Structure 1
Amino acid sequence: MKPIVVIPARMNSSRLPGKPLADIHGEPMIRHVLRRGLEADVGPVLVAAGDPEIANALALAGGNVILTDPNLASGSDRSHAALSSFDLDGNYDVIVNLQGDMPTISPSLLRKAISVLDDPQIDIVTLATPISDPAEAERTAVVKVAMEPAAENSSTGRAIYFSRWPIPYGARNLLHHIGLYVYRRNALDKFVAAQPSQLERLEKLEQLRALVLGLIIGVAVVDTHPLGVDTPEDLDEARRLLAPSAAAIS
């Protein structure tokens, strides 16, 4: 496999406008995400920027930047467009779609997700973490995944369905979906070429399009849920988590 990390980012966010450039200890958030991608050390890192301000903020930060149409519907569409411009010869066959609002994600999670593609039947990989708070299970903002384990007590398996409702019924432990995706390149091509499915429109979850298309989504269950920055409160938490240590300050 020859992976590439692609980070889609755009300025237009309804809950936190301009969040790729939100300051976190003197640097825009998108630089922190870029750093996480580089630290994973799985391949080159490409930022799919929907706005020139994002490209300008990364001018001296390393990595590669491709400007994409700001009107593209999703991060997967943005990643596909950037990759099509950056890699005309199709050298990279695995695309790690790392959202541009995950500045605290552990690089090890990217490596973990890629490893699931050792199973040749898997087309796409995503992550999930157990839900311990019953209130979290009831929140519609928390996406749940019903996974069929590869074996009894296995931490990997295949996604059967995603929903904003608590699924599957009767499960002792529900799984909170983490919005990181690793695509085989032909699966990403197939995904972005298809129209949104009826289930996708109902649940407002694009990963359901992949299931409707018959693509197999592998799931790796991990211990922690990386923070996604969607609100001012999330931004404050990211600043806390990324605060320099006292040793580093001294």
Structure 2
Amino acid sequence: MEFVVIIPARYASTRLPGKPLADICGKPMVQHVYEKACLSGASKVVIATDHQKVFDEVSRFTRDVVMTREDHQSGTERLAEVVDSLKLNSDTIVVNVQGDEPLLAPENVSQVASLLNDSRAPMATLSVAIEEQDEVFNPNAVKVVSDINKNALYFSRASIPFDRNAMMTKGSELHLAPFQRHVGIYAYRAGFIKQYIELSTSPLEVLESLEQLRVLYHGFNIKIEQAHVTPHAGVDTPEDLEKVIAYLKSSNA
């Protein structure tokens, strides 16, 4: 199985400016992500940035870096530009890995790629089991339900599936086994990335503020499977950054 990893690394961040270059134990965050992705078995790992500082820093440890436009409205648009610049075949499997996940599990990258390798679906992603009841009702935790063939049926910020007996009977215990939280790692066929940005916006994605619903709305399959390794949280804030640094220091102690 061959696949390419693309790591978007935008410089601008409201809560953590210059996030890709944040120092983590002597290396910029994006380098940690790159090195983890290289362990996934990918045939190529490319970093895509919109800022010269990031480009220059990344060039110190790899030649596989491309400069993209600053005016993209979504990460998928940026991905499409990179696919064009690399002249990837339309059937090439592309895994989009976020540049703010320095604790990325390489096993999950290869897993999501293999979901496409074993099917003709244009897109794949992962989930994890929900283990805390509060997460079921947390709108920031995106829930997903799937069918017997590992096709996603729906993604929602609401508590899906709806446990009718537990939620409508006072004092009943909510059983967590059916609940899955979506993990934001995606694999695409390169040709579908360009097709996706041409699809019309769906009313469902607007209501839920979830771009992946556009794919289901237009009748395409998204393969999904529970992640082999439970992912660590990404870095959005200075506090997140400190937690990652502390974790790596304790792991290497």
TM-score, reference length from structure 2? 0.88
Inter-CA distance 76–111: structure 2 relative to 1 (3 Å threshold) = same
SS at match of 1:40: coil
Deviation at 1:63, TM superposition (A): 4.8
Could you tell me how far apart the structure 2 residues matched to 1:193 and 1:242 are?
A: 41
CA–CA separation in structure 2 for the residues paired with 1:45 and 1:189: 19
Task: Check if 1:238 corresponds to 2:231.
Answer: no
| Partner SS, residue 108 of structure 1 | helix
Query: How far is 1:91 from its partner?
Result: 7.6
Greater radius of gyration (CA) = 2
Q: 1:123 is matched with which residue?
A: 122
- Per the alignment, do residues 75 and 11 of structure 1 end up closer, same or farther by CA in structure 2, a change over 3 Å counting? same
Is 1:209 the equivalent of 2:214? yes
Map 1:80-99 onto structure 2 (within 5 A).
80-87=80-87, 90=89, 93-99=92-98
Whether the 8 Å contact between 1:104 and 1:241 is mirrored in structure 2 is no
1:83-162 matches, within 5 Å, as 83-87=83-87, 90=89, 93-150=92-149, 157-162=150-155
Q: Offset of 1:224 from its aligned partner?
A: 0.7
Question: What does residue 154 of structure 1 align with?
Answer: none
State the shift of 1:145 in Å: 1.0
1:188 alignment counterpart: 193
Does the 8 A contact of 2:79 with 2:193 survive in 1?
Answer: no
Q: Would you say 1:165 and 2:171 are equivalent positions?
A: no
Code of the residue aligned with 2:96 in structure 1: it is: N
The TM-score with structure 1 as length reference comes to 0.89
Q: CA shift at 1:67, angstroms?
A: 0.9
Judged with a 3 Å threshold, the aligned counterparts in structure 2 of structure 1 residues 217 and 91 are, in CA distance, closer, same or farther, namely: closer
Aligned length: 239
2:28 corresponds to 1:28: yes
Q: Secondary structure at the match of 1:193?
A: coil
Task: Give the distance between the partners of 2:185 and 2:83, measured in 1 at CA.
Answer: 17
Counterpart residue number, 2:231: 225
Question: What's the % identity of the aligned pairs?
Answer: 35
Inter-partner Cα distance in structure 2 for 1:92 and 1:56: 31
In structure 1, the gaps of 5 or more residues are 151-156
Could you say if the C-alpha distance between residues 7 and 192 of structure 1 is closer, same or farther in structure 2, counting changes exceeding 3 Å?
Answer: same
Match of 1:12 in 2: 12
Report SS of the residue matched to 2:114.
helix
Is contact 1:93-1:185 (8 Å) kept? yes
Aligned to 2:179: 174
8 Å CA contact 1:140–1:165 kept in 2: the answer is yes
Is the contact made by 1:103 and 1:227 (CA closer than 8 Å) also made in structure 2? no
Measured on the aligned residues, the alpha-carbon RMSD in Å equals 1.8
